[in-house]
Structure 1
Amino acid sequence: MRLNRMNRLSIDEIVDIYDKLLEEQDYELRDIVNIEERLVRKISRDRHSEYRFSLQRIKDSLIDHLVKYGSYLKTEYRKDDQLAEKTLIKALKFDKTNPIALYRLGFLAYKKRNYSRSVYFFESALKSHELNEKHRHALNSQQRYNASLYLCNSALYVAEFAQKSLAEIEGEVERENSVNLELFPLYKYIK
């Protein structure tokens, strides 16, 4: 169904389409995501909707589908990293601390060699998992290991970049005596 036509439908009409799709089990994940997004938007706007009590359940289902769809989009079967990233970021709009969405965004950033961004996502995924190990999208042991490993590697790439930048300007400025910086023990190896 065309999205602009769906925007004109009532909540009841969208729910009927949604139920029919789920019942027939003949749908694409993106169709379910689009319908759930519209339902969340319409129900959120209508304070008197009889569906208000279902809003959180619909949001949870939407998050599940966004994570699943975003993961599918980055697989070898689809390979649409840009759409996968948009979909996973959309999942974070509904659940800012979703560990698996953050984790997968970390890999997408790493793949693009955006190491500072991958540091952010991997670190956020690990912290989110740590704060709520019972989250529906918690990381398993292998994912926590991978996130930690890629976080370290990404951070080293960031450190290497920073070191090269520092080396380029070191001759141009004198290190002030007032700078009292305790250097990280591995600094000499990075240098």
Structure 2
Amino acid sequence: MRLTEMAMEELEELEEALHNEKEDSPYSNYSQKIRIYKEMYRRLEKTEDEKGYFNYVRKKLIFHLIHYGTYLKMQYEKSEDGAESCLKAALRYDNTNPIAAYRLGFLSYKRQKYQAAMDYFQRAIDCQQKHKESDYRLSEKQLINAHLYLTNSALHLAKQAYERIEELPHDNQEELPNYEFSSLYERLRDSDRHLIQHAFYKISERESTTCSKEECEEVITHEPADTIVLYFNDRNIRLIFNEDATTLSQEQGDILRHLLTKSSKVSPATRMTLHYCFSAGLTGEVNGENLRQAIHRLRNRMRNCNIAHVIETTRFREETAYYFNGSLPYIVMYRVDEGIGYLG
């Protein structure tokens, strides 16, 4: 049966079934969920007496569009069109969303569509303070990068315009303006080099720095002994320990990153502090059982890499909580441009 032919109750039941099913792969049912939320949104948009439920559906739709768009861009080399489509849809439903605009700017810049990139980065900067959802605001590093990409986009456009001027036919006796562009080219090279060299965060128990993709790959190639390495690369999320490796889902990667970098015995992670790791977390649906199952799955994946027991269970403010016990050193690496509230 088509979604348009289903009653609202049937759509809700289908959403619940998708939410509860065991996914074969990360985000395997996100496209289905998006279609359901779009249909629910279409119907609820016309009603005046269910604004609360409408806002719930809208939030879920935007959340899934942004997450799925990011997943498509990361997971498959040839899925940037799909990522762009999801992120543009997110902006249609939430036209002041800074992270969606930022991601679109990054995709446009990568494709050398500098006018579009400039427009998107300017939009992200303008929307940074306007947006009510802190999870979708840019991190400090992303905001700096947005300004750098905006500047570079303008410089690329100026460079292209200057090169076209030189190609135009003109009277040899006509003196064209003598623009001095050597400093522009130098600044453009420097800015691009800076963005490449600081494309990734590299976080350990000792320090937090930025580095290039090449430096991340060097860590993977020559991984330090007895060290947990968590790498959010451009295709998947890798967990590596003493040459044993496994792939994590986005949820598992986000939870482990939080546990490694932000949890401790005195400040353990709870369902509230980890809510951003779950698609349900945007509307406060994460409960203790959701978190318990997620931690159980994560521990199983870590056992695949022969990582000893490093995630402890405790009680904190009358609920079950978890923390990294610090028994092993770690390195976490992820793209600055992939950051979102739950990633930053």
Native 8 Å contact 1:70 1:88 kept in 2 = yes
Output the CA distance in 1 between the equivalents of 2:55 and 2:137.
19
Alignment partner of 2:14 out of 8, 17, 23: 17
Distance in 1 (CA, whole Å) between partners of 2:82 and 2:146 is 22
- Normalization by structure 1: what TM-score? 0.80
CA RMSD of aligned residues (A): 2.7
CA contact (8 A) 1:11 1:43 kept: no
User: Measured at CA, do residues 158 and 20 of structure 1 come closer, stay the same or move farther in structure 2, by a change above 3 Å?
Assistant: same
Quick one: percent identity of the two aligned structures? 30
Q: Which residue of 1 aligns with 2:40?
A: 39
Cα separation, partners in 2 of 1:142 and 1:59, compared to 1, 3 Å: same
1:4-39: per-residue Cα shift (whole Å, max 9, x none)? 611110111101111232234646211211111111
State the Cα deviation string for residues 141-169 of structure 1 (Å, max 9, x = none): 12112222222221111010122233344
Q: Secondary structure at the match of 1:74?
A: helix
Alignment of structure 1 residues 1-191 onto 2, 5 Å: 5-24=2-21, 26=23, 28-45=29-46, 47=47, 51-75=50-74, 77-79=75-77, 80-132=79-131, 135-169=134-168, 171=170, 189-190=183-184
- Give the direction of change, closer, same or farther, for the CA distance of 1:51–1:10 in structure 2 (3 Å limit): farther
Q: Secondary structure at the match of 2:135?
A: coil
- Cα pair distance change 1:133/1:16, threshold 3 Å: closer
| Cα pair 1:163 1:190 within 8 Å, conserved | no
The CA deviation at 1:174 is: 6.7
Alpha-carbon shift at residue 57 of structure 1 (Å): 1.3
Whole-angstrom distance in 2 between the partners of 1:151 and 1:113: 13
Q: State the aligned residue count.
A: 176
Moved over 6 A (4+): none
Partner AA of 1:78 in structure 2: Y
Give me the whole-angstrom Cα distance separating, in 2, the residues matched to 1:8 and 1:138: 37
Q: Matched residues in 2 for 1:51 and 1:65: separation?
A: 21
Structure 1 unaligned regions, length at least 5: 176-183
**1:166-191 residue CA offsets vs partner (Å, 9 max, x unmatched):** 3344835979xxxxxxxx9x868449
Aligned mates of 1:141, 1:17 — CA distance in 2: 39
Read off the aligned partner of 1:41 and give its amino acid letter. R
Structure 1 or 2: larger strand share?
A: 2
2:76 partner amino acid = R
Partner SS state of residue 139, structure 1: coil
Could you tell me whether the CA contact under 8 Å between 2:114 and 2:154 is conserved in 1?
Answer: yes
CA distance, structure 2, for counterparts of residue 138 and residue 25 of structure 1: 31
Higher RCO, Cα 8 Å, sep 6+:
2
Asked if the contact 2:41/2:57 (under 8 Å) is kept, the reply is yes
Higher helix proportion (structure 1 or 2): 1
Q: Distance in 2 between matches of 1:31 and 1:41?
A: 16
Seen in structure 2, the aligned counterparts of structure 1 residues 42 and 66 have a Cα distance that, compared at 3 Å, is: same
Alpha-carbon distance in structure 2 between the residues aligned to 1:101 and 1:29: 17
TM-score by length of 2: 0.46
Contact 2:18–2:29, Cα closer than 8 Å, also in 1: no
